[in-house]
């Protein structure tokens, strides 16, 4: 019994199965200096094996039982996302959300319930801007929606082992006419208000199945304006389940360019603003941005820029897989990145085979050396540039290598998305914070295949910044 206690790990047992002791030259088992009988040796070996098996199995079971607990702890460690209830209250209190007044004035509404969801902010933003433009041109109030990541019934979903809000109010990202900001007429309203103002029995559903979604952008918008002109119902919703009005092929083509003359002069873009939440994050990080004066940072409506700063959009991570696919598809630049008067054009036609792939990778996923060379060329044309701000999802160690290479090439400093200090509410709109900074930069160098870059170029052109200040990798 004493032997069993010692082997089973009782109070007197000093060793675990990980402890080993080398045997001497004479490795025959002995008890009190005498060789053990074969039966005793087998019993001892059997007891040891059973003990090792018992301890190992117990540890495995304990570890398996702890896995869910450890996952929960890891997820909660990232924090509980904010509810943005204060921003929802702001939206509810918009002047146009007076139901009695709205009914008295017989306002006209246009909703697109099949809007894009579950995608990145900039894909959603591209679509929302054009849909609100259709509503504006049709003399109807656009019904704006939350940014929706998931239709889960729960307030949060799991993404990259962290909790993420399934819905964020649009006014957490942007202000202006698309999000219910002031306009001369037909201010946009929230989907929540629509539910009260337009009960199901008042809604007129118009199908998009006949929309010419493969036509030029201006043709698509004019088609909808004409179609909606004949609809006298106050509450109109578009059923685009059969055919998406502005689909991904549209935004990846030059067809959007035909919309620019009208879109750029409409309040949809001339009165576009980032939300107060986003602006507060930009203001908070003035130390990182090093503005020459506070005015250049706080003046959000003028052409004032952050002098000496070049904003650089470097998409990494998933682009390691995506960029070779773009080469295989022979894709061109996204959306307004194909605007004809932009200084940098993308033309893969002369390149074949390996040179074709290399051309795409240089413009989509450049190496550190290629980035340094590209920024050197941009600085040669803009000699006042001294600092680099990188909009990126890259790892810190990679950015440190890029920073060292740029400093060797004469740049004063490199800061990035990783250096920006954000509170809990600002964290989930961090991409918009990056975009607001890039919009203010003296020069912007973007990734032409990216919708984020396309939206920044659009906002900079709408603000009237020199078109040559928009460059591509």
> Residues 231, 350: one domain?
no
Local confidence band at 54 (pLDDT 50, 70, 90 cut-offs): low
| 421: CATH | 3.40.50.11350
Q: Can you tell me the mean pLDDT for 239-259?
A: 94
Same domain, 58 and 100: no
Distance, in Å, from the CA atom of 397 to the CA atom of 441, rounded to the nearest integer, reads: 25
Has residue 124 been placed in a domain?
yes
Mean pLDDT of 275-299: 90
Instruction: Provide the pLDDT for residue 157.
Output: 79
Structural domain includes residue 30: no
Provide the number of structural domains found in the chain: 3
According to the model, what pLDDT value does residue 55 have? Answer: 60
Give the angle subtended at the CA of 396 by the CAs of 123 and 292, to the nearest 5°. 80
Question: Looking at residue 27, what is its pLDDT?
Answer: 41
CATH number at residue 203: 3.40.50
Q: Are residues 339 and 225 in the same domain?
A: no
pLDDT of residue 43: 65
Residue 37's pLDDT band, with cuts at 50, 70 and 90, is very low
CA distance linking residue 430 with residue 421, whole number of Å: 10
* The pLDDT of residue 418 is above 70: yes
**Does the structure show a pLDDT above 50 at 30?**
no
Q: Is residue 273 part of a domain?
A: no
Q: What span, in angstroms and rounded, lies between the C-alpha atoms of 103 and 21?
A: 89
Indicate whether 12 pLDDT > 80. no
Q: Among 268, 298, 333, where does a domain finish?
A: 268
Tell me, yes or no, whether 160 and 113 share the same domain. Answer: yes
Question: Could you tell me the residue range of the domain that residue 294 belongs to?
Answer: 285-472
User: For residue 350, is pLDDT > 80?
Assistant: yes
Please compute the mean of the pLDDT values over residues 189-209 and round it to a whole number.
Answer: 96
User: Can you spell out the DSSP letters for 395-411?
Assistant: -HHHHHHHHHHHHHTT-
Residues 98, 72 share a domain: no
Say which range, 49-63, 268-282, 288-302, has the weakest mean pLDDT. Answer: 49-63
Task: Give pLDDT, residue 259.
Answer: 97
- Give me the pLDDT at residue 14, please: 33
Per-residue model confidence (pLDDT) at position 207: 95
Domain boundary among 213, 234, 268: 268
Tokens of 106: 């017989």
Q: Which of 33-42, 64-73, 119-128, 341-350 has the lowest mean pLDDT?
A: 33-42
pTM: 0.83
Closest listed residue to residue 286, CA positions, set 275, 300, 273, 297: 297
Does 22 map to a domain?
Answer: no
Whether residue 432 contacts residue 121, with contact meaning beta carbons closer than 8 Å, is answered with yes
Q: What is the mean pLDDT of the chain?
A: 87
Same domain, 318 and 455: yes
- Pair 439, 307 in one domain: yes
What is the mean pLDDT of the segment spanning 284-307?
85
Pairing of strands 306-314, 387-392: parallel
Q: What mean pLDDT do residues 244-259 have?
A: 94
**Does a structural domain hold residue 26?**
no
Task: Say how far apart CA 75 and CA 154 lie, in whole Å.
Answer: 16
What pLDDT was estimated at residue 302?
Answer: 72
pLDDT in tens, 116-129: 998 999 999 999 99
| 402-436 burial: b if 16+ Cβ within 10 Å, else e | bbebbeeeebeebbbbeebebeebbebbbbbbbbb
Residue 40 shares a structural domain with residue 91: no
Q: Is residue 454 part of a domain?
A: yes
Identify the pLDDT of residue 310: 98
- Comparing 292 with 123, the larger pLDDT belongs to 123
The confidence score (pLDDT) of residue 19 equals 33
Helices 396-408 & 368-381, crossing angle to 10 degrees? 50
The answer for residues whose C-beta is within 8 angstroms of residue 441's C-beta and 6 or more apart is: 305, 306, 309, 310, 311, 389
Domain-embedded: residue 278: no
DSSP label at 200? Answer: G
Residue 341 has pLDDT above 60, yes or no: yes
Last residue of a domain, one of 47, 77, 107: 77
The verdict on 297 and 440 lying in the same domain is: yes
Q: What mean pLDDT comes out for the span 420-429?
A: 96
Confidence of residue 52 (pLDDT cuts 50, 70, 90): low
Q: Is residue 21 part of a domain?
A: no
124 contact partners, CB below 8 Å, separation of at least 6: 115, 116, 117, 147
Q: Is the pLDDT of residue 322 over 80?
A: yes
Least confident of 26-30, 158-162, 329-333: 26-30
Do 305 and 413 lie in one domain? The reply is: yes
Q: For residue 104, name the pLDDT band (cuts at 50, 70, 90).
A: confident
Q: Does 2 score more than 50 pLDDT? A: no
Q: Mark whether 222 and 254 lie in a shared domain.
A: yes
């Amino acid at each position: 019994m004493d032997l069993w206690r010692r082997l089973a790990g009782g109070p007197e047992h000093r060793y675990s199965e990980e402890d080993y002791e080398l045997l001497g030259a004479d490795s025959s088992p002995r008890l009190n200096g005498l060789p053990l009988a074969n039966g005793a040796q087998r019993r001892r070996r059997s007891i040891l094996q059973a003990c090792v098996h018992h301890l190992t199995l117990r540890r495995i079971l304990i570890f398996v039982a702890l896995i869910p607990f450890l996952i929960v702890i890891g997820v909660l460690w990232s924090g509980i996302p904010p509810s943005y209830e204060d921003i929802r209250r702001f939206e509810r209190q918009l002047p146009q959300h007076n139901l009695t007044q709205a009914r008295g004035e017989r306002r006209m509404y246009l909703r697109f319930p099949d809007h894009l969801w579950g995608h990145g902010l900039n894909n959603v933003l591209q679509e929302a801007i054009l849909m609100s433009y259709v509503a504006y041109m049709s003399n109807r109030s656009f019904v704006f929606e939350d940014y929706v990541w998931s239709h889960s019934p729960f307030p949060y979903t799991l993404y990259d082992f962290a909790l993420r809000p399934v819905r964020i109010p649009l006014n957490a990202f942007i202000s202006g006419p698309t999000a219910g900001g002031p306009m001369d007429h037909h201010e946009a309203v929230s989907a929540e208000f629509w539910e009260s103002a337009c009960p199901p029995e008042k809604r007129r559903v118009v199908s998009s199945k006949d929309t010419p979604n493969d036509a030029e952008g201006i043709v698509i918008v004019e088609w909808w304006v004409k179609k909606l002109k004949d609809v006298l119902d106050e509450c109109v919703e578009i059923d685009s389940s059969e055919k998406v009005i502005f689909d991904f092929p549209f935004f990846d083509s030059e067809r959007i360019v035909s919309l620019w003359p009208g879109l750029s002069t409409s309040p949809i873009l001339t009165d576009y603003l980032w939300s107060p939440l986003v602006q507060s994050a930009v203001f908070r990080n003035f130390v990182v941005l090093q503005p020459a004066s506070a005015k250049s940072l706080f003046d959000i409506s003028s052409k004032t820029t952050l002098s000496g700063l070049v904003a650089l959009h470097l998409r990494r991570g998933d682009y390691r897989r995506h960029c070779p696919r773009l080469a295989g598809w022979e894709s061109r630049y996204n959306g307004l990145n194909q605007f004809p008067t932009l200084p940098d054009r993308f033309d893969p036609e002369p390149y074949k085979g390996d040179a074709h792939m290399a051309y795409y990778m240089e413009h989509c996923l450049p190496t550190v050396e290629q980035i340094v060379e590209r920024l050197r060329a941009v600085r040669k044309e803009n000699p006042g540039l001294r600092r680099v701000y990188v909009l990126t999802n890259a790892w810190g160690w990679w950015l440190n290598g890029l920073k060292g290479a740029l400093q060797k090439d004469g740049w004063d400093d490199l800061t990035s998305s990783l250096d920006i200090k954000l509170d809990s509410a600002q964290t989930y709109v961090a991409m918009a914070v990056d975009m607001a900074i890039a919009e203010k930069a003296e020069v912007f160098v973007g990734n032409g295949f990216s919708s984020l870059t396309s939206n920044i170029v659009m906002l900079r052109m709408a603000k009237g910044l020199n078109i040559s200040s928009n460059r591509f990798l």
